[in-house]
Structure formats: C-alpha cells, structure tokens
Structure 1
Amino acid sequence: MNDRAPAPGGLALIQSLVNTLDLESGADRLDTAEGRAAFGLVAGGTEAARELRESLRAVCLAHADHPPHRPVTPLGELLAGAPLYLTVDGRDGGAGFAPAAPAVLSVSADLSAPATPSPAVNGSLTSRVAAAIAESLVDGTWARLKACEASTCHWAYYDRSPAGRGRWCSMSVCGARAKMRRYRAK
C-alpha cells in the first residue's frame, strides 16, 4: 500500500516487520522461507516474530492516535528479554548490561552524535528491534512511525509531514477511500 519513502535508520526494520502482513489479502511474508530469512528467523521463531509484529503495529497505531486493532502483548513485555549493552565513545557506558548482550548501542559522550546500533552485532530480531527503538527515541523519530488509519490496512509508514499528523499510508489509496466515504456519508 505504502507510497511513502521508507523510515530512516533502524525504524526501517520495524516498518518492514510490521508490513509483513497484508491485512487486505491476508498474505503473510513470514509464512515463506524468504520472508523469514529477511529477518534472520528460522521456522521455530515465526510465532514470536508475529507476536512482536502485532505489538509493534499496536504502538504504531497509538502513535497515530488510533486504537489497537486487536488485543496484543504489551511491547515492553516482549522486549524485556532483549538487553542492550551501552558503549560511550567505544568504552563501557556502565549501563549494567553484560558485554555478551545481543545488541550494542553506541553513543558519543556529549550526545552530539546519534545513538547507533553496533553494525558488528547480529543479534536476535527482538534485540535488533529494541536497538532500533532506543536509537529512534534518542534521535526523536520513534513517534513518527505510525500505522495507517484504514481498518483494512494498518500498514506502517514514517510520517514526514511538517506537523506530524499523517493518517494514511497512502493518500492516493487509503486517504482517498476515507475521504470518499466521508463525502458519500454527507
């Protein structure tokens, strides 16, 4: 559905994961080996990835002030097992996490450079999502990742509008449908 540019940085991973399920057609890319491989998943991790996806979708819907489309496990519960190891200017940042943690977030001491996940770490999907969220919270982009208002869509998109009030993944499809429904209702 989405005719917008992909989300910046690590949010692209989250956007891509949320958009593995097409609600209109029911097609789920996590059902295919190629779809699972894109996220480093094996067949056994598919259900956990689906649960993570739907929790992320609920957060994206909340970012756009829409209610969740169904009950989900809170995102915080799913990410609780994904510790981050923080480094500051390449040294231990004293974050209290073990160096063996599957995700590493690096920041500059004066916070002049954005927080970035370490490219050398190839952690679990949950850890990579946690690192992407941490990075986007630091750079202020997390709340711009939203889900389409259309109940048959809920596609994730990055809202680049100046006021941050985007409502649809695509103005030419979902936005046009919503506006036409409102027009006909009058």
Structure 2
Amino acid sequence: MSERSPAPGGLELVQSLVNTLDVESGADSLDTAEGRTRFGLAESDIPAARELRESLRVALLAHAGHPAHREVTPLGALLTAAPLVVAVDAADGSATLAPADEGPLLSRVAAAVAQALVEGAWTRLKACEAVDCHWAYFDRSPAGRGRWCSMQVCGARAKMRRYRAK
C-alpha cells in the first residue's frame, strides 16, 4: 500500500508482520506458503501469529492516537511469554536485547520492540488512521505527527472526503 521506506532495525519485522493483512481486500499473506516461510511459521503457528499481528496493530493505532479497531489480547500480555537476554558482543562490548530463543516469531518481535524502546523508535511505528487501511508505517516526520501510510493514497482520500462533506 505505502511507498514509505521500511522501518529501521528490528521494527521492519514488526511492520512486515502487521502488513501481512490487507484490511481493504482481506488478503492475508499468512495464508500462503511463501508468507509463512517469510516468518518461519508452520501451519500450526498461524493462529498465534494472527493474534500477535492484531495486538501489534492495536498498539500501532494507539501510537497514532486512534482507538482499537477491535478487542485483542493486550500486546504486553503476549510479550511476557517471550523472554529476552542481554547479548554482549565480545569484540566491542556493545550490548543489545535479544530473544532467549531465536526461533519463535513472538521472541523475535519482543526483541525488536524492546530494542526500539531503548532506541526511542517504538512510538514512531504507527498504523494508518484510514479504517480501510491500518497499514503499518514508520513515521519519519519531524514532529512525529504522521497520520497516513501514504499521503498520496490514504491522505488524499481523507482530504477528498472532508472536502466533499463541506
């Protein structure tokens, strides 16, 4: 949907997961073998991945100041099941938060969210305010007040609706 660039660092994983569902068409790339392979998921992992995706979407909507689009398991409740460790690089002594178990998607998402919190980038990952979109995007605007995944598509539609309403 968006022509914006991907989110930085591990947030690209979060952005990609949220964007596996095209809200407008209903197409879900987790229904495809390619989509599942991209996230290292087995068929049995799909319900949990969808639950995580929608909990993330609600958090991203909140970052943009929008209400939840539906009831979901709170993201914090899901992430408590993914323990993190502090990984220290022996060569330079730098430290990062990493999943205790590299395999599960939940662990990788938890590490990405934790690292983004440390870097101050977590709240810049948002979901488009358009109810037929809710696409995840990284808000690079100076004031951090971006509202749409794309000004050319969702932003233009919203402005046109407001204009017609007058």
Q: Are positions 1:173 and 2:153 aligned together?
A: yes
SS in 1 for 2:47: helix
- Cα RMSD for the two superposed structures: 1.5
Alignment map for 1:33-48 (pairs within 5 Å): 33-48=33-48
Question: Structure 1: where are the runs of 5+ without partners?
Answer: 91-106, 110-114
Per mean C-alpha deviation after superposition, the further-off stretch among 76-85 and 140-149 is: 76-85
Question: Structure 2: where are the runs of 5+ without partners?
Answer: none
SS in 2 for 1:167: coil
In percent, how many aligned pairs have the same letter?
A: 71
Cα deviation for residue 85 of structure 1 reads 1.3
Q: Equivalent residue for 1:108?
A: 94
Per mean C-alpha deviation after superposition, the further-off stretch among 79-88 and 1-10 is: 79-88
Q: Are positions 1:162 and 2:138 aligned together?
A: no
What is the TM-score of this pair, normalised by structure 2? 0.93
Q: Does the aligned pair in 1 maintain the 2:127–2:148 contact within 8 Å? A: yes
Q: Are positions 1:138 and 2:104 aligned together?
A: no
Q: Equivalent residue for 2:54?
A: 54
Q: Equivalent residue for 1:78?
A: 78
Q: Equivalent residue for 1:10?
A: 10
Deviations 1:43-81 (A, max 9, x none): 000000000000000000000000111111000111111
What is the TM-score of this pair, normalised by structure 1? 0.84
Q: Are positions 1:184 and 2:164 aligned together?
A: yes
4+ long deviations beyond 4 Å: none
> Aligned equivalents of 2:137 and 2:98: distance in 1?
21
Structure number having the greater helix percentage = 2
Give the greater-gyration-radius structure (CA). Answer: 1
> Aligned equivalents of 1:181 and 1:21: distance in 2?
24
Q: Equivalent residue for 2:133?
A: 153
Cα deviation for residue 3 of structure 1 reads 1.1
Deviations 1:104-131 (A, max 9, x none): xxx837xxxxx3548xx63210000000
